[in-house]
Structure 1
Amino acid sequence: MVISDTQTLVNRLAELASPEIANTSQRFFKTQKGQYGEGDQFYGIRTATLRAVAKQCKSMTIPKVFELLNHEYHETRMVAVFILVERYQKSKIDTDKQTIADLYIQHSQKVNNWDLVDSSAYKILGPQLHGKDTAVLYELAQSCNLWQRRIAIITTLYFIKQDDYADTLALAEILLHDKEDLMHKAVGWMLREIGNRNKSVEVAFLDKYHKTMPRTMLRYAIEKFTPQERQHYMKK
């Protein structure tokens, strides 16, 4: 099946819907009033199926893909994210890559749940910004929008994989006292990723901030430490 327009895609996803899976997803992604995913709606479709559907959208234009990020159903936005990552990674044209990255930033408030962010930010903005001006990440890190802040720190996972830690550490300082638990987890995760590659860099950061950083952030950061090391850092 070839899907080239947004309505055909929406119709296809509706056909694949499972109310049982949708109910589970709505609980898992915290969609109740006051929760981070408040109001998000789900068809109830497994990730593997969404990836397969995304591969059927090779002829969909980039503007149409970005239109999908405005859709009310979570899985529609996820398909859009999968398409954008594949288009970015397979493109041989620098201007096309830049266009996707620029539009991703412009639509970043619509990349509005942790799985959408984590599946795309470091795969698109990571390679696009590495070794270049990263000022946009610092702007996003200070946004009032949770998802833009998460995009900022998760983007640097690509940098970490290149053994470049400066932006991650600087952004971690900015986000150190973020009020959202999802940000505590994200920052802690990135610190742990640094430690996986260069433990001394992570330890230096923790020695400076472990007494004041949120406990969730710290627990994520020291997850792979020895029991003795974890006990040391968990002491106030």
Structure 2
Amino acid sequence: MPKQTIRLTAAEFLEGLKALQSDAEQKKIQRYFKSGEGEYSQGDQFIGVRMGQVFQLAKEMMDMPLAQIEKLLESPIHEARVGAVSIMDFQARSKKTPESRRKELYELYLRRHDRINNWDLVDRSAQYVVGGYLYDKPRAVLYKLARSKNIWERRTAIVATSYFLKHRDRADTFKIAEMLLKDKEDLIHKAAGGWVRQAGKGDRDQLLAFLGKHAATMPRTFLRYAIEHLSASQKAHYMGLKNA
């Protein structure tokens, strides 16, 4: 019997999600993503599909046309938007993807950032869709995003630089992290501190210089994430600067 052909549409993806839905998983996801009143995921709809299953479904449908990806992004269901950005990520990573499609994916990401509206959606796709596209191009857009009033656009600015770090290109990570030092959002402190830490793996001296300049005034969460891989004595030193 011939294998059934998968229709690469948003509607087909949503049908696939519904077949994987679990009430128990829904409760876990709602707690994990803080979807209560006043929390950052308030109003988002979680139907209860494990992320590994969402990623697998996205991989099976990674050739979805751009217009259908955008339809998927428009869904109120969180797992559907995870699927959309995962498909974008798979396409951006593929060596078979032409530059013209990479540009379209990048432009879709920025144009529909209103639907890429949670930390996991940014982290799942910004590295390759945004950072990968900008690697050999001017990066002024990242600095514009870092100044945005939108928390998720600011997170994209720092997360996208992780692609550069793979190529030992660390300058933008430190510069954008410096722009985010006075950010009021904990989810930005975690991201900026984490990516500074990653940059420091490749250039410890640059990390220590950054900490020497900013440890006393940076947000505590930012600092804790940035110093995570340092020695106990170094951690104590920089936390001491913060507490002085």
Q: Which category of TM-score, normalised to the shorter sequence, fits these structures? A: over 0.9
Matched, 1:3 2:7: yes
Q: Deviations over 1:65-117 (max 9, x none)?
A: 12211111111001111111111222442111111111111112211111111
CA distance in 2, matches of 1:165, 1:60: 33
Match of 2:224 in 1: 219
1:122 to 127, 140, 147: 127
SS for the counterpart of 1:108 is coil
Q: Deviations over 1:169-196 (max 9, x none)?
A: 1111111011100000000001100111
Contact 2:64 2:87 in 1 (8 A): no
The number of residues matched between the two structures is 236
1:49 to 53, 69, 77: 53
Contact 1:26 1:40 in 2 (8 A): no
Q: For residue 222 of structure 1, report the CA deviation from its aligned partner.
A: 0.3
2:188 to 173, 183, 187: 183
1:202 to 194, 204, 207: 207
Q: Which sections of structure 2, spanning at least 5 residues, go unmatched?
A: none
Counterpart code for 2:209: A
| Correspondence 1:28-177 to 2 at 5 A | 28-90=32-94, 91-177=96-182
Contact 1:3 1:59 in 2 (8 A): no
Q: For residue 56 of structure 1, report the CA deviation from its aligned partner.
A: 2.7
Q: For residue 32 of structure 1, report the CA deviation from its aligned partner.
A: 1.2
CA distance in 2, matches of 1:87, 1:57: 10
Q: List 4+ stretches of structure 1 deviating above 3 A.
A: none
Q: Deviations over 1:111-135 (max 9, x none)?
A: 1111111111011111111132111
Counterpart code for 1:80: A
SS for the counterpart of 2:161 is helix
Q: Kindly, what percent of the aligned residue pairs are identical?
A: 40
Q: Which sections of structure 1, spanning at least 5 residues, go unmatched?
A: none
CA distance in 1, matches of 2:136, 2:208: 25
CA distance in 2, matches of 1:92, 1:22: 34
Contact 2:92 2:129 in 1 (8 A): yes
Q: For residue 58 of structure 1, report the CA deviation from its aligned partner.
A: 4.1
Q: For residue 227 of structure 1, report the CA deviation from its aligned partner.
A: 0.7
Q: Give the alignment's TM-score, normalised by structure 1.
A: 0.96
RMSD: 1.3
Q: For residue 59 of structure 1, report the CA deviation from its aligned partner.
A: 4.6
**Bigger shift: residues 56-65 or 104-113:** 56-65
